[in-house]
Structure 1
Amino acid sequence: MNLKEKTILITGGASGIGLEAAKQFLAIGTKVIITGRTQAKLDRAKKLHPALIVIKSDAGNEEDAASLFNKVKELGGIDILYNNAAVLVPPSNLGIANDKHTEGAAYEMEVNYLGVIRLNNFFMGMLQSREEAAIINTTSILSQAPSLIEATYSSSKAALASYTVSLREHLKIIGSKVKIFELIPPLVATEMTADREGKKISPEEMVKGLIHGLQKDRYTIRVGDAKLFNLINRFFPKLAFGLLNPKKGHQLLRK
């Protein structure tokens, strides 16, 4: 896929992987629009990268999604929708006996799954009108094997992974030119994973892998250890599950 002179919308683009993606896409000649829930973070991102277009928008809010679509349409539209925004409720709030369990699960599903579908539906017509267009859905290695301490987050990503495959095949059947990419990252060093132990890759390395995959039209983009994990999970699923759920991590379930 040619990325130069395209316009990309990155949800959750004011920090972490999203902000790094904005930086790297700008560097290769892509016009970048980012969204985020916090105006102060958007302002900081704009100060760092003046070429950015910033729009305050909550990926889990239906009214915000409609407003975002209208604003993007006024700006001339987009060629690529990068569904990067995601939330993870802290494990301490997701214990099976905790009364916040359902509330946290619903919040994760609303942002990580339903919010993606909502934006895809809003922008699909716009994307189909372009000569070359794409949607990028960010899942996780946890969509392949779940984390015991992040069970509902894992479930939201598993749902998104299944939806992504179905959407890609459906668009092929109807002859749509919109490309559907699934980005499967390993553990990335961001604010969301600050409390997680284990090997992490940098957002810079993560985004480099994403851009390379897009340019090669690799519809399932596995970056870093996500490639190895896929092989382990395919042939040794119990081992893969154990790698994601070391015994010392089980102590969190008792808190």
Structure 2
Amino acid sequence: MGRFSGKRILITGGTSGMGLAGARRIVAEGGQVIVTGMSKEHLDETKQALPGALILRNDAGDPVAADALAEKVRELGSLDGLWLNAGYAAVAAIEDIDAAFFDRMMNANVRGPVLQLAKLSSYLNKGSSVVLTSSTATYEGAPIASTYAATKGAMIAMARSWASALGERQIRVNVVVPGPIETNFRNFMADDFRRKFEADVVGHLALARVGTAEEAAAVALFLLSDDASYVTGSQYAVDGGLIMQ
């Protein structure tokens, strides 16, 4: 009997990186997973990796996507856990930010999770868990990451309010705050810039190495599991000591 035996967990942005690592482990621990993603390549690969899972193409930045997701969950019945992990990242100097840049990131990283929880909250069983993925970018003060950092800071603020709102149903809401993790999430950066960025970050880490997707997912799964039954409104940094929080 695993921690997730008999439980159904929905992971948005679960076809790569931390989300996929988490989905694999939930299945290994006896659970059922619903996974969303955008890339056809990643969706196809996830179908091969998790043959018993429900794999859905769903764009968190689309205002009607949450309705489609809720309809699928309604057909299944209910959820025991929800990991709002889908996200979009880009960087820009202050003077290069325009409305389209701002809206795309806010729509995916803030409006998306808000609408997803609004539509899915009624399907969360008593005693279930919600986990949000933030980022150490919230605290780093990187000069070209202001909009991204703002969206990830919003996740932390929303989680505290949601923990209060859902506490009467014994539903817990917590945040995982990854730092430098080996995923494809920074592939939007030019190769040379990404290598310099990662080298600079590693130089500030107490553990002096980049973390793995599995290490980050392990913390999210702790929060999703009954092992964290008295933990809510909290944030857990998984960052090798980057922000020492």
On whether the aligned pair clears a TM of 0.5, the verdict is yes
Contact 1:7 1:79 in 2 (8 A): yes
Scaled by the length of structure 1, the TM-score of the pair is 0.80
The equivalent of 2:205 in structure 1 is none
Q: Deviations over 1:89-123 (max 9, x none)?
A: 1x2xx22222x533222111111111001000001
Please state if 1:189 is matched with 2:199. no
**Structure 1 residues 88 and 44: CA distance shift in structure 2, 3 A:** same
TM-score between both structures, scaled by the size of structure 2: 0.83
Matched residue, 2:6: 5
| Distance (whole Å) between structure 2 residues aligned to residue 77 and residue 146 of structure 1 | 39
Q: Specify the structure having the higher radius of gyration (Cα).
A: 1
- Give the alignment's Cα RMSD to 1 decimal: 1.9
Aligned to 2:207: none
Distance 1:132-1:170 versus aligned 2 partners, 3 A rule? closer
Answering whether residue 58 of structure 2 is matched by residue 57 of structure 1, we say yes
Q: Distance in 1 between matches of 2:181 and 2:99?
A: 26
Residues in 1 aligned to 2:118 and 2:173: alpha-carbon distance in whole angstroms: 13
Q: Residue 70 of structure 1 corresponds to which residue in structure 2? A: 71
> Alpha carbons of 1:224 and 1:139: their partners in 2 closer, same or farther (altered >3 Å)?
closer
Aligned mates of 2:223, 2:166 — CA distance in 1: 20
Does 1 or 2 have the higher relative contact order (CA < 8 Å, sep 6+)? 2
Inter-partner Cα distance in structure 2 for 1:214 and 1:169: 17
Residue 95 (structure 2) aligns with: 97
The residue correspondences of 1:68-217 to structure 2 (distance < 5 A) are 68-89=69-90, 91=91, 94-98=92-96, 100-127=97-124, 130-172=125-167, 175-194=168-187, 195=194, 196-197=197-198, 198-199=201-202, 200-215=210-225, 216-217=227-228
Match of 1:222 in 2: 236
- Helix, strand or coil at the partner of 1:229: coil
In the alignment, which residue of structure 1 is the partner of 2:49? 48
| Contact 2:176/2:238 (8 A) holds in 1 | no
Provide the C-alpha distance between the structure 2 equivalents of 1:118 and 1:224, rounded to a whole number of angstroms: 26
Specify the SS of the correspondent of 1:149. Answer: coil
Q: Name the structure where strand makes up a greater proportion of residues.
A: 2
Name the structure 2 match of 1:239: none
Q: Residue 95 of structure 2 aligns to which amino acid in structure 1?
A: A
Paired residue total: 222
* Conserved? CA contact 2:80–2:128, under 8 Å: yes
- Give the match's secondary structure for 2:179: coil
Q: Is the 8 A contact 2:15 2:42 kept in 1?
A: yes
Once the two structures are aligned, what percentage of the paired residues are identical?
A: 26
The structure-2 alpha-carbon separation of the partners of 1:142 and 1:222, relative to structure 1 and needing over 3 Å to count, comes to same
How far, CA to CA, are the matches of 2:223 and 2:76 in structure 1?
A: 27
Shift in alpha-carbon separation, 1:37–1:226, aligned structure 2, 3 A: same
CA distance in 2, matches of 1:96, 1:228: 24
Local SS of the residue matching 1:124:
helix
CA distance in 1, matches of 2:139, 2:240: 10
Name whichever structure is richer in helix by fraction: 1
Change (3 A) 1:36 1:226: same
Separation (CA, whole Å) in 2 of partners of 1:107 and 1:139: 17
